[in-house]
Chains A and B, each alone.
Chain A
Amino acid sequence: MYITGTHLSRRAVLKGFGATIALPFLDAMAPAGRGLRADQRKIRLICVEMVHGSAGSSLIGARKNLWAPAGVGPDFDLAPTSLRALAPFRDALTIVSNTDCPSADPFTASEIGGDHFRSSAVFLTQAHPKQTKGADVQAGISLDQLYAQRFGQTTPLPSMQVGIENGDQGGGCGYGYSCAYTDTISWASPTRPLPMVRDPRVVFDTLFGVLRLSESPAERREQLALDRSILDWVQASTRRLQATLGPGDRARLSDYLDNVREVERRIRAVEAFSLSGEVREQPEAPAGVPDSFSDHVKLMFDLQVLAFASDVTRVFAFKLGRDNSNRTYPESGFAGAFHPTSHHSGKEAKILEFAMLNAYHVSMIPYVLEKLKNTPDGDRHLLDNTVLLYGSAMGDSNQHNHKRVPFFIAGHGGGAFKGGQHLKAANGTPLANVMLSVLHKIGVDDISSFGDSEGTFEM
């Protein structure tokens, strides 16, 4: 730990054998207890992709406002839309509708029909993936990585990539496309896809520098039986730090460590269940992966908030699903499998069922927004300084097209996004234009194009 007088370095950590826990921003880290100045605020970025487009991207769905609201500007009604769960956060919400992802379209005869095998690679790159099953994959650098490469170099981890479904299938996935295109949304360069981590335990251990000396299931069972938290490993370090802090910082540190302990407890509970011999819904999944979609997503979001609070990283790419997934979401109120449900035949009743799945997926987002809002970040809270992008490069999955793709932005990005807006793009506007403008607003302001952008988008 590095403490000089009453001032604490932003990079101070709690250290114990086999664990390193970064700290949240404390008053002791700012001179004379002042909060972060505006120019010291760091924008956090979460890029969330959900596959299969949206019911609101179909002609009937668009007419019924199943994704985009009818009203534009500040006057819009979320009630009919799949975004209705975001109503408590409408002031932080910027909906951008009616954009297309033309780079996900086929460019040649052999690419026709391969939409599911291309879309995820397009979402954050807005570049057309090269059709190959080999190692010579090529798309484009993704938005999250452009930001991480510019602003992530001062944090212990420039960025992290996490996902919910199996994304480690290797080889070719179909229609002549490598599974790399389906497995990840994050590309460090046009030829370097980054793997997504599915196991919350791996994310936790990475964030807190946990050194695992044992990895076999038997040894993990023994560790679980010991019921020790990594906070136990840094007890002495924690006590020493607390003795130097004022009451406000002590409370803040205590809250933060409670959150770390709670997330760790939940991961351990999942692992204990997975290793108990009980029937699991996803038996192939790592032990730290919960059966429940919402439990899994919430754990991943909790880890992201902890990472932001401790400034271990400022960038996450989060893939909620996998193209062609047949996962079911009973908590949505509809039991149909995801991919077949997205093939709604253009029939209204089926489109409405698909909209239930879309609404359920979006309903995961308020959880993290609430957490961000309740997490101090200097003199503000994390929601003020975060940009969360949510969307898909697929539009109407029934048609396998990439028009009217679902997309919204949540958070204020350090004041860059006013929020409370529905912006409807002119027909034919590439989503890349919006992403270029997002990059400009979050500080990557010296690039003139992104993917297949044709210009910027006024926000």
Chain B
Amino acid sequence: MIKSFIGIVALATNLAVAADPPNITGTWNMGLEGDHVIPVALVLKQDGPKLTGTIALPTQNAGNRVEVKLSGEFADGAFKLSGTIEGAKEPTTVAISGKLLDDGSMEGKFEMPGHGHGTMSWTAERLKERK
């Protein structure tokens, strides 16, 4: 009786795990692949299909960053995000597309139209936050 109860619980747990949709909420250490790999912080919050977050992009002044607010959608393991750099001399938008990989990392493309960077590939791993 007890064995079958445990079996049912285990089965239910497995089903629950299998049914959990992927969630990419968290801090990602993203590597933008330009002439070298630029590490940037991508912080995401997923609420169902809705995504919000920020990306901290380096500026032309070495050591400085600008934080860009992002919004977009996540569906079927893939997502699209966009945002506008506030305070830029000219209106500048950021577009990010990506997908979650089986190993838990992500990859995708990054665009900042009009800034001569073209489309940059990126990969990202979840940050192991430590104190």
Task: Decide yes or no whether B117 CB sits under 8 A from chain A.
Answer: no
Q: Does B41 contact A117, Cβ atoms closer than 8 Å?
A: no
Task: Decide yes or no whether A155 CB sits under 8 A from chain B.
Answer: no
Q: Does B62 contact A112, Cβ atoms closer than 8 Å?
A: no
Pick the contact of A175 from B37, B65, B129, B130 — CB < 8 Å? B65
- For residue A347, give the distance in angstroms from its CB to the closest CB of chain B: 10
Query: Which of B15-23, B28-36, B90-98 is the interface stretch?
Result: B28-36
Q: Does B129 contact A108, Cβ atoms closer than 8 Å?
A: yes
Contact with A along B25-57 (1 / 0, CB 8 A): 001011100011111110100000000000010
**How many residues of chain A get a CB closer than 8 Å to chain B's CBs?**
21
Q: Whose C-beta in chain A lies nearest to the C-beta of B61?
A: A174
- For residue B16, give the distance in angstroms from its CB to the closest CB of chain A: 30
Contacts A106-B127, A113-B56, A175-B63: A345 and B35 contacting too (C-beta < 8 A)? yes
CA distance A110 to B127 in the complex (A): 11
CA distance A345 to B116 in the complex (A): 18
Question: Which A331-366 residues have a C-beta within 8 angstroms of B?
Answer: 343-345
Pick the contact of B40 from A112, A117, A174, A398 — CB < 8 Å? A112
Contacts A106-B29, A175-B63: A112 and B36 contacting too (C-beta < 8 A)? no
Q: Does B127 contact A112, Cβ atoms closer than 8 Å?
A: yes
Contacts A107-B130, A108-B129, A173-B63: A113 and B41 contacting too (C-beta < 8 A)? yes
Pick the contact of B37 from A108, A324, A400 — CB < 8 Å? A400
Task: Decide yes or no whether A399 CB sits under 8 A from chain B.
Answer: yes
Q: Does B39 contact A400, Cβ atoms closer than 8 Å?
A: yes
**How many residues of chain B get a CB closer than 8 Å to chain A's CBs?**
22
Pick the contact of A109 from B27, B62, B64 — CB < 8 Å? B27
CA distance A156 to B101 in the complex (A): 60
- Tell me the dominant secondary structure on chain A's binding face: loop
- For residue A341, give the distance in angstroms from its CB to the closest CB of chain B: 10
Contact with B along A161-195 (1 / 0, CB 8 A): 00000000000011100000000000000000000
Task: Decide yes or no whether A115 CB sits under 8 A from chain B.
Answer: yes
Task: Decide yes or no whether B131 CB sits under 8 A from chain A.
Answer: yes
Contacts A174-B62, A174-B63: A109 and B31 contacting too (C-beta < 8 A)? no
Q: Does B63 contact A117, Cβ atoms closer than 8 Å?
A: yes
- For residue B124, give the distance in angstroms from its CB to the closest CB of chain A: 10
Pick the contact of A398 from B30, B37, B58, B62 — CB < 8 Å? B37
Contacts A107-B129, A108-B129, A174-B64: A113 and B39 contacting too (C-beta < 8 A)? yes
Q: Whose C-beta in chain A lies nearest to the C-beta of B35?
A: A345
A-B pair count, CB < 8 Å, reads: 60
Q: Does B58 contact A113, Cβ atoms closer than 8 Å?
A: yes
Q: Whose C-beta in chain A lies nearest to the C-beta of B58?
A: A113
- For residue B127, give the distance in angstroms from its CB to the closest CB of chain A: 7
Contacts of A400 in B (CB 8 A): 31, 36-39
Pick the contact of A112 from B39, B63, B64, B131 — CB < 8 Å? B39
CA distance A345 to B38 in the complex (A): 11
Contact with B along A92-117 (1 / 0, CB 8 A): 00000000000000111110110101
CA distance A107 to B41 in the complex (A): 11
Q: Whose C-beta in chain A lies nearest to the C-beta of B57?
A: A113
Contacts of B131 in A (CB 8 A): 107
CA distance A115 to B40 in the complex (A): 11
Contacts of B43 in A (CB 8 A): 109
Contacts A106-B127, A108-B129, A175-B65: A113 and B35 contacting too (C-beta < 8 A)? no
Pick the contact of A115 from B30, B39, B56 — CB < 8 Å? B39
Contacts of A173 in B (CB 8 A): 63
- For residue A398, give the distance in angstroms from its CB to the closest CB of chain B: 5
Question: Which A191-207 residues have a C-beta within 8 angstroms of B?
Answer: none
Contacts of B58 in A (CB 8 A): 113
10 smallest A-B Cβ distances: which pairs?
A174-B63, A343-B36, A112-B41, A107-B130, A109-B41, A109-B27, A113-B39, A399-B37, A398-B36, A400-B39
Query: Interface on B for A, CB 8 Å cutoff?
Result: 27, 29-31, 35-41, 43, 56, 58, 62-65, 127, 129-131
Starting from the known contacts A109-B43, A113-B38, 19 additional A-B residue pairs (CB-CB under 8 Å) come to A108-B127, A109-B41, A109-B127, A112-B56, A113-B41, A115-B39, A173-B63, A174-B62, A174-B64, A175-B63, A175-B65, A324-B62, A343-B36, A345-B35, A345-B36, A397-B36, A398-B36, A400-B38, A400-B39
Between-chain CB contacts (< 8 Å), 21 pairs: A106-B29, A106-B39, A107-B129, A107-B130, A108-B127, A109-B127, A109-B129, A110-B56, A112-B39, A113-B38, A113-B40, A113-B41, A115-B39, A128-B130, A175-B65, A343-B36, A397-B36, A398-B36, A399-B37, A400-B31, A400-B39
